[in-house]
Amino acid sequence: MTVDPDCIVVTSGSSPAILLVLLLLCRPDSEVILSNPGYACYRNFVLAAQAKPVLVPLRPENGLQYNIEDIKKFITTRTAAIFINSPMNPTGLLLEDRFLKEIAGLGVPVISDEIYHGLVYEGRARSILEFTDQAFVLNGFSKRFAMTGLRLGYVMAPKSCMRALQKLQQNLFICAPSIAQQAGIAALRYAAPDVERMRATYDERRRYMIGRLREMGFGIQVEPKGAFYIFADARKFTKDSYKFAFEVLEQAHVGITPGIDFGTGGEGYVRFSYANSLENIREALDRLNRFLLSRGFL
């Protein structure tokens, strides 16, 4: 797949790219369709654009995947965009080709956050641009190239929208830092072998963590295929993911994210990250195991 360079705006990370696209598409009475659970900041960006987040449930019986019929029920004359993310945060799941093709045919602008492309362990992450050129793709260097602090991202958009996006960029952010852009050029030219080694390391940690969590009784209905997260069902241990996560932090000194942070559809789940060394992951899971034993869960 090739993209016209004139259809790309380089930004100070992918977060400004999200804001630019939403400011372009939304009006005060607009609605933006999001997943529940989903990355919490999406909702806040929609609110910042004076629009309304409309949350579509991702059902456990569907493997926490989107259902196109559920999305159709929420489309109205006020729908400004449908926001998708693949590989997904918090689940690490890939959106299926069939779904991407169907959503591209709905006649509604699609915003696709593809920041975790390049960190895929099973299958292939497909871009929405393979199915339509009338979409907005968000990406950046923080995940694939581990350049989080340098803040470098970009948005790919229809050519008809480029001048408006450029005006927003010039007024709000001016440009991405030149030093970050030079680092990004170096990453694109030279870092592919390092990215592949990092991806293989993540995959090793992913497999290890999935096995350990299942041994402890966490439910992992569908294994994550990308990103660096595991969204585990903790309802065997708690009905309050927020309280559970803080107890684990305070008593076991292990940081996990409560599922409720990602929306009501995440309640009863907790998100684990394997963006740490295997040594630290082993230690963290040992501590978590001792915590569960002390509570009589094991």
What does R_g of the chain's alpha carbons equal in angstroms? 20
In this predicted structure, what is the pLDDT of residue 58?
95
Interval 116-128 mean pLDDT: 96
CA–CA gap between residue 150 and residue 156 (Å, rounded): 20
Q: Give the model confidence (pLDDT) of 49-78 as tens digits.
A: 999 999 999 998 888 999 999 999 999 999
Start-to-end CA span in the chain (Å)? 50
Interval 195-200 mean pLDDT: 98
Fold: same for 5-190 and 193-294 = no
∠ CA 157-163-169, nearest 5°, is: 85
In this predicted structure, what is the pLDDT of residue 169?
96
Interval 121-142 mean pLDDT: 96
CB 80 within 8 A of CB 25: yes
> How many C-beta atoms surround the C-beta of residue 76 within 10 A?
9
Given a cut of 80, whether residue 298 has pLDDT beyond it is no
The CATH number that domain 5-190 falls under is: 3.40.640.10
Domain boundaries, the chain: 5-190, 193-294
In this predicted structure, what is the pLDDT of residue 276?
97
In this predicted structure, what is the pLDDT of residue 62?
86
Burial class of 100 by CB neighbour count within 10 A (0 to 12, 13 to 18, 19+): buried
In this predicted structure, what is the pLDDT of residue 255?
98
CA–CA gap between residue 252 and residue 292 (Å, rounded): 10
Interval 33-61 mean pLDDT: 96
Of all residues in the chain, the percent with pLDDT exceeding 70 is 100
Which amino acid, 298?
L
pTM of the model: 0.95
Interval 180-194 mean pLDDT: 98
Tokens of 292: 């569960």
Q: Which CATH architecture has domain 193-294?
A: Alpha-Beta Complex (3.90)
In this predicted structure, what is the pLDDT of residue 9?
98
In this predicted structure, what is the pLDDT of residue 61?
87
